[in-house]
Amino acid sequence: MHEMDEATARLEHLVSTARRAEEMAAEWSTRRHVGRADEGRIVATTDAVGALVTLEISPLSRKRLDARRLADEILAAVTKAEQAAAASQDELLRGLHS
């Protein structure tokens, strides 16, 4: 009977862990991550996996930056948002293993 109790306890622990992982993944999947550049005038937003969702460029940035600099600043904002998404994913995976 002792073996059956241990097996039941292990099964309950696995079910609890799976439920927690599912809840964490569901919450994580709704997150948005923001990267800013050009003193906050360029804002890139990605979803949980790092796909670009929105890109906001201030008219001031378009006016004062030449094409190359504007492209560099856009890239910087998108990269920051992607890095935030990757860090969030790493955090989720660490949480699932703990």
Tokens encoding 28: 């994580």
Is residue 73 over pLDDT 80? yes
Architecture of the 2-97 domain: 2-Layer Sandwich (3.30)
Out of 25-34, 65-74, 80-89, pick the least confident. Answer: 25-34
Q: How far is CA 32 from the centre of its chain?
A: 6
Residue 97 has pLDDT above 80, yes or no: no
Per the structure block, which two tokens stand in for 9?
A: 């306890």
pLDDT tens-digit profile of 8-54?
888 888 888 888 878 877 887 889 999 999 999 999 999 999 999 99
